[in-house]
Amino acid sequence: MGKKYNAEAKKVEERMYSLKEGCALAKDLHYAKFDGSIDLAIRLGVDPKHSDQMVRSSVLLPHGTGKKVRILVFAKGEKEKEALDAGADYVGVDDILEKINSGWLEFDRVIATPDLMGVVGRLGRVLGPRGLMPNPKTGSVTFDIAKTVGEIKKGKVEYRVEKAGIVHVSIGRVSFTADQLYENALAVFDSLVRQKPAAAKGTYIRRVVISPTMGPGVTIDESTLRPVKTAA
């Protein structure tokens, strides 16, 4: 690790932090000059090799991601107009397929109407490995185009457990307040708990680390992943 990283790492004590503490500290640990992201790495007690233990969904972050998202929509007819009116960046079918097959990938999220998934499926080898393939579980295969585009623009993010049983989710930028990051993180954890597979046994959330794009991670105490209840 470089000198800057090591200097920031000295600020992290050898203990677990509450989620609120971690959100505030992660901001302070970012040493780059650009407005980097703040990310969560969550190890789950699941084995993604088994289909009944796959965890994949999406969640609308209360304060968004702080990042401009380029949205591609596969739609035609009235749904094409609906997508454009909702603010989608690219809309089409055949012309989009041709561009992607030619190497074009200048988009961050993909939505498709159900009737076009047979066509979009041809792009599985390109979109799948990049986590861009539309999927009903994340709400990206839908006829409700306007609502879906609007939610993504507001900060709806997708997540999927990786082979090692880890979920990576960005919860905002360094420029966010600690409270905004905290509330976004709570939304992610609430969604993850709702998606717990029935086949998952034992401890579900095993380890949580929050970190800036450029900087060390902070281990979070799992017992603090719920909103603090205040007395009436």
pLDDT in tens, 20-72: 999 999 999 999 889 999 999 999 999 999 999 999 999 999 999 998 999 99
- Residue 74's contacts (CB-CB under 8 Å, 6 or more residues apart) are 91, 92, 93, 96, 110, 111, 112, 113, 116, 119, 120, 134
Residue type at position 2: G
Interatomic CA distance for residues 38 and 173, integer angstroms:
5
Question: How many domains, the chain?
Answer: 2
Interatomic CA distance for residues 66 and 180, integer angstroms:
11
In a domain, 175, yes or no: yes
Q: How confident is the model at residue 74 (pLDDT cuts 50, 70, 90)?
A: very high
164 & 53 share domain: yes
Q: How confident is the model at residue 228 (pLDDT cuts 50, 70, 90)?
A: low
Token duo for residue 130:
């990049």
Q: Is the pLDDT of residue 232 over 70?
A: no
217 & 108 share domain: no
For 130, the domain range is 71-154
Mean pLDDT of 167-185: 96
Interatomic CA distance for residues 144 and 166, integer angstroms:
30
Mean pLDDT of 68-80: 95
22 & 75 share domain: no
Q: Which residue carries 């539309």 as its tokens?
A: 134
181 & 201 share domain: yes
* 115-137 residue pLDDT tens: 999 999 999 999 998 989 999 98
Q: Is the pLDDT of residue 230 over 50?
A: no
88 & 112 share domain: yes
- Spatial CA neighbour of 8 closest among 31, 32, 35: 31
In a domain, 7, yes or no: no
In a domain, 45, yes or no: yes
What pLDDT is attached to residue 131? Answer: 87
Mean pLDDT of 75-97: 95
* Main-chain phi, psi angles of 201, to 5 degrees: -115, 155
What pLDDT is attached to residue 231? Answer: 40
In a domain, 52, yes or no: yes
Interatomic CA distance for residues 8 and 28, integer angstroms:
8
